């Protein structure tokens, strides 16, 4: 039986751009090292998706990992987030590897295939996780992987388990349950 996630349990609150600086700051690297977390899943030349990218804390790490022949599609609802990411990427000389994409609440706005997708600390904000997961499943290439990490402080074990069930009902299979600090995480395969 298909497990539904109520839109009242996830979604409805979007992290405002000014709040992002409370955790997306230089100290965050001590907790979340993008290279260390993502290197096992990404190789040079890949096209990857960072959905709910915020100001690109992970997009920049991904851009290093995909190299000059790869591409990072960075998607977010908020223009301020994408503008912040653009500035950071230009300063780091990485902007030509990054394609910005403005999402809407019910459509990530991406229509090209990718080998890897990341949804870091964002899925609990999505109003229709069922549609969201279906879209990612459709675009992820067969054999591709999708890493979801949710913040411990906002997402209970119960809600996270419901999310995992929903991913399985969407057609993903569980590859691993990586240990990420301050997070609940699942690595999915297609």
CB of 1 to ligand SAM, least distance (A): 26
For ligand SAM, the closer of residues 67 and 151 by Cβ is: 151
CB of 34 to ligand SAM, least distance (A): 9
Rg (CA), the chain: 15
For ligand SAM, the closer of residues 3 and 80 by Cβ is: 80
> Which residues are near ligand SAM by CB under 6 A?
14-15, 24, 51-54, 57-58, 75-78, 81, 103, 105, 108, 120-122, 125-126
Backbone angles phi, psi at 129, to 5 degrees: -60, -30
143, 172 Cβ separation under 8 angstroms: no
For ligand SAM, the closer of residues 21 and 44 by Cβ is: 21
| Residue 15, C-beta contacts closer than 8 angstroms, at least 6 positions apart | 54, 122, 125
Nearest residue to 50 via CA among 6, 94, 9: 94
For ligand SAM, the closer of residues 66 and 100 by Cβ is: 100
């Amino acid at each position: 039986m298909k497990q539904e996630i109520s839109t009242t349990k996830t979604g409805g609150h979007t992290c405002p751009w000014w709040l992002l600086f409370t955790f997306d700051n230089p100290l965050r690297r001590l907790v979340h090292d993008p290279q260390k977390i993502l290197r096992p899943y990404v190789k040079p030349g890949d096209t990857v998706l960072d959905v709910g990218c915020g100001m690109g804390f992970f997009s920049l790490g991904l851009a290093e990992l995909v190299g000059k022949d790869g591409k990072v599609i960075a998607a977010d609802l908020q223009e301020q987030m994408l503008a912040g990411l653009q500035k950071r990427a230009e300063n780091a000389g990485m902007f030509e590897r990054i394609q910005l994409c403005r999402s809407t609440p019910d459509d990530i706005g991406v229509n090209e295939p990718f080998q890897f997708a990341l949804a870091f600390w964002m899925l609990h904000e999505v109003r229709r996780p069922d549609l969201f997961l279906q879209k990612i499943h459709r675009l992820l290439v067969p054999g591709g992987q999708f890493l979801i990490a949710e913040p411990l402080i906002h997402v209970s074990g119960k809600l996270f388990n419901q999310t995992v069930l929903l991913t399985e009902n969407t057609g993903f299979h569980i590859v691993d349950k990586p240990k990420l600090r301050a997070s609940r995480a699942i690595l999915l395969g297609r």
